[in-house]
Amino acid sequence: MKHILAGFCMLLSTGGILVYPQEAATENALMILEDRGEVILEFEHPGPQMLNWLSKWISIDRVDRETVKAYANREGFERFLELDVPYRVLDWPGKNIKRTRKGYLPVTSWQVYPTYEQYDSLMVAFQENHPQRCRLDTIGYSQEGRALLVVKISDHVEMDEAEPEFFYTSSMHGDELGGYVLMLRLIDYLLNQYGIDPQATRLVDSVEIWINPLANPDGAYHDGNHTIAGATRFNANGVDLNRNFPDPVAGPHPDGQDHQPETTAMMEFMQGRHFSMSANFHGGEEVVNYPWDTWQKRHADDAWFQFISHEYADTAQAYSVNYMNGFNDGITNGYDWYSITGGRQDYTTYFLNGRETSIELDVSKITPEAELDQLWNYNYRSFINYMAQVLYGIHGSVTEADNETQAVPAMVTIVGYDLDNSMVYSDSIHGFYARLLNEGTYDLTFSADGYFDQTVSGVAVSNYRTTRLDIALVKNTSAVSGPSEAPFQLSIFPNPARGYANLTLELETEATVALHIIDLNGRIVFQTAPEKFGVGTIEKSLELDFLEPGSYIIQLEVNGQMLRNRLIKL
């Protein structure tokens, strides 16, 4: 590492782009950290290898060919100073916003940022004014006790229907707020255009839509509920929420921080739903960012991700001037731009078997209020088109052959295609599933515990069309149902468990073992690759911090036989 750091310092000291009086910069940074808990730094691009190392300590925000912009809390800033490189301190996005004003426009003009109390009142009013199609819920609470609010919009809002579920959320970075107002306006649009606009009506009738306009209220209202002028990227604990989720590569705590209240609440909420598709909104650029962020390799549905991302950007370009046309014509693969770990996009796509993108709406983190109406006009058609994509691909239900009213939570796999948890699952209520796919012909296998697998070949998919495929699985009465029928024994201790559980497996023969943790919706939330073991006792300590409290199935596949025990996570 030392020779890399030396090269990095030489690059910065000879490049001539960023040379600043470092004593003054450091003094300024420390004062800002004392007041705000975070500081924004700019420095020359050190190259991908060093940038990946730096991202473990500071939150990379924007990268171009020459410079990097990043946020640091106190610990991250001290780590950064160890590199002894030239940098400068940038103003926070809301520094020049007036904190008190007379003559506020009405909040429902959608051309002002609401106070926190106004936001809360707006969300309540949506439900009160549209009780048949809108339900207000609370995902959880922030570190400082502000509610994380979400609305569900549907034609039968109190029912769980056999429909795809969709989720929009904005501003998990508290100083990226254009999407906050736009999501409030989208809620209003869907509710008031129902029965008037055919696209809005179709979506409300056919999709269970969930919208969370503000995922980091403590960051947005850092200086108090009355103003967003002091908005911070981090939450009240100085943690970047979009680096705080379990990661497919870096594990349950990629940032070295405990899961924050906002993260835990969001994970619990999303695990309790069955979202087929989602997006989270940011600011600071104009681009649709698609998975993966953590891996250089591509998602199995990379062609589909590029297709829907281009549709979003192309639509925005068609209704704007010089907007969202950088990168690859408005889209980018996350890793190709710059790699992060702990992002919600990869968490949702990998661990929840969903399909999520991160959409950067504006080069201004806090869109000037005078430009909010323009930003809406650039994007609202893209919001609608993006949501509509959840209606396409292959949809259907999985039930029992002998009782078609009995839903079967099944794994739906594309043969020779799926990888890295890209398969999807049918739900346990209706057996409904939605497999979003780019146009082509596919072979699908449906498998569930206690049933014979069923494969359907040659299923044709067309873009902007829905292929219906209902499946009735036949029970396998001879299937091994537990450890008593196999020469293996599995025990879990402690159970119920909090931070960890010890798994003990007794093998009487050599075996190949793979571990799966399955939630009550039938989704795999953790898995390991098959590994060979000899006769004897295998002991494994399993960290459970990434799991929300609840019931799970610990499933071991041992030489093709399934061992299952229930685990209670406290």
Under a CB-based contact definition with an 8 Å cutoff, are residues 219 and 174 in contact?
yes
Beta bridge partners of 416: none
Q: What is the pLDDT tens value at each position of the chain, 570 positions in all?
A: 333 333 333 333 333 344 456 788 899 999 999 999 999 999 998 888 888 888 888 999 999 888 999 999 999 999 899 888 889 999 999 988 876 554 567 899 999 999 999 999 999 999 999 999 999 999 999 999 999 999 999 999 999 999 999 999 999 999 999 999 999 999 999 999 999 999 999 999 999 999 999 999 999 999 999 999 999 999 999 999 999 999 988 888 999 999 999 999 999 999 889 999 999 999 999 999 999 999 999 999 999 999 999 999 999 999 999 999 999 999 999 999 999 999 999 999 998 999 999 999 999 999 999 999 999 999 999 999 999 999 999 999 999 999 989 999 999 999 999 999 899 999 989 999 999 999 999 999 999 888 999 999 999 999 999 999 999 999 987 754 443 344 567 888 777 777 778 888 888 888 888 888 887 666 788 888 778 888 888 888 888 888 887 778 888 888 767 777 778 776
b/e per residue 107-128 (b: at least 16 CB within 10 A): beebbbbbbbebbbebbeebbe
Under a CB-based contact definition with an 8 Å cutoff, are residues 248 and 291 in contact?
no
Task: Spell out where 4-72 has E strands.
Answer: 39-44, 59-63, 67-72
Under a CB-based contact definition with an 8 Å cutoff, are residues 278 and 166 in contact?
yes
Rounded to a whole number of angstroms, the distance between the first and last alpha carbons of the chain is 41
Q: How far is CA 371 from the centre of its chain?
A: 27
- If one counts every other C-beta atom within 10 angstroms of the C-beta of residue 331, the result is 24
Tokens 């106004």, located at residue? 118
What pLDDT score was predicted for residue 476?
86
Tokens 């052959």, located at residue? 401
Cis-peptide into 164, omega within 30 deg: no
What pLDDT score was predicted for residue 51?
84
What pLDDT score was predicted for residue 100?
57
Q: What angle do CA 372, 377, 380 make, to 5 degrees?
A: 105
DSSP code for 377: H
Cis-peptide into 483, omega within 30 deg: no
Q: Which residues are catalytic?
A: 360
- If one counts every other C-beta atom within 10 angstroms of the C-beta of residue 98, the result is 8
- If one counts every other C-beta atom within 10 angstroms of the C-beta of residue 447, the result is 16
pTM score of the predicted model: 0.84
